[in-house]
């Protein structure tokens, strides 16, 4: 019943796309004139006219007379009613950022943000999970990039070949690597096969947690 029967006019569609893009880029909506400039619409009143159209279709919301008072209405297309229902969601505490120069904080921060992900994406064991955002390039890899969110399970031992957050005592830094125990030493193998492994004494490493999921945001 939501769906408008008539198809969205070319120009309205373009404006909507521009709005979405602009807001994403700038964090605030554009002015009528900016819209016009971007889409080669020479008259502010024309833009106004289209905006009114978009508003009538329920695609955007506007605050009259206030500058940049445009807001995208969540979801023009079907489905997304974003029901919070399902109850199958895990709240994983977000501990902050993982940087090479500091060990992972053991305690959750006071405010405790969380990352919500639904349980179906995990295996059975959902204990001891926590999330960190990767910052900086020191542990970058084909698999792990700057800005990625990694979800780890807190444990101090991992199986050979599993990826873990590792604290190196001597270097005083944290890194994300695949871990292989080789007698008295440990081989830390980047996930990227073209990168060289590093070897450290077994007593120099402290496993901080096993990486169970990597979430990469590609764009906004």
Q: Which residues bind DNA (CB under 7 A)?
A: 9, 11, 31-34, 41-46, 48-51, 53, 62, 64-69
Instruction: State the catalytic residue, choosing from 7, 65, 177, 219.
Output: 177
Closest CA to 95 of 124, 126, 135: 135
Rounded to a whole number of angstroms, the minimum distance from the CB of residue 63 to DNA is: 8
Assess whether 138 carries a catalytic annotation.
yes
- Residue 5 interaction partner, one of DNA, its own copies, none, beta carbon < 5-8 Å per kind: none
Which residue in the block uniquely carries the two structure tokens 């944290």?
174
Using the minimum distance from each CB to its own copies, give the nearer residue, 143 or 185. Answer: 143
CA distance 190 to 182: 16
Assess whether 7 carries a catalytic annotation.
no
Instruction: State the catalytic residue, choosing from 138, 170, 210, 219.
Output: 138
Using the minimum distance from each CB to DNA, give the nearer residue, 19 or 158. Answer: 19
For residue 203, report the phi and psi dihedrals to the nearest 5 degrees: -80, 0
Using the minimum distance from each CB to DNA, give the nearer residue, 9 or 105. Answer: 9
What is the SS3 assignment for 130-186? EEEEECCCCCCCCCCCCCCEEEEECCCCCCCCCEEEEEECCCCEEEEEEEEEECCEE
For residue 116, report the phi and psi dihedrals to the nearest 5 degrees: -100, 125
Rounded to a whole number of angstroms, the minimum distance from the CB of residue 84 to DNA is: 22
- Residue 48 interaction partner, one of DNA, its own copies, none, beta carbon < 5-8 Å per kind: DNA
Catalytic residues: 138, 177
């Amino acid at each position: 019943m939501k769906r408008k029967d008539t198809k969205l006019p070319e120009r309205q569609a373009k404006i909507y796309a521009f709005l979405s893009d602009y807001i994403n880029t700038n964090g605030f909506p554009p002015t009528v004139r900016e819209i016009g400039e971007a889409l080669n619409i020479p008259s502010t009143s024309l833009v106004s006219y289209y905006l009114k159209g978009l508003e009538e279709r329920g695609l955007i919301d506007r605050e009259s007379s206030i500058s940049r008072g445009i807001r995208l209405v969540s979801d023009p297309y079907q489905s997304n009613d974003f029901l919070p229902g399902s109850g199958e969601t895990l709240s994983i505490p977000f501990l902050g950022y993982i940087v090479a120069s500091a060990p992972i904080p053991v305690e959750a921060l006071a405010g405790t943000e969380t990352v919500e992900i639904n349980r179906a994406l995990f295996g059975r064991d959902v204990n001891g999970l926590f999330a960190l955002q990767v910052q900086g390039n020191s542990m970058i890899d084909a698999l792990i990039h700057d800005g990625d969110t990694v979800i780890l399970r807190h444990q101090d031992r991992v199986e050979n070949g599993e990826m873990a957050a590792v604290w190196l005592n001597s270097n005083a830094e944290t890194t994300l690597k695949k871990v292989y125990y080789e007698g008295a030493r440990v081989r830390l193998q980047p996930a990227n096969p073209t990168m060289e492994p590093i070897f450290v004494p077994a007593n120099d490493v402290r496993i901080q947690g096993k990486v169970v999921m990597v979430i990469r945001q590609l764009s906004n």
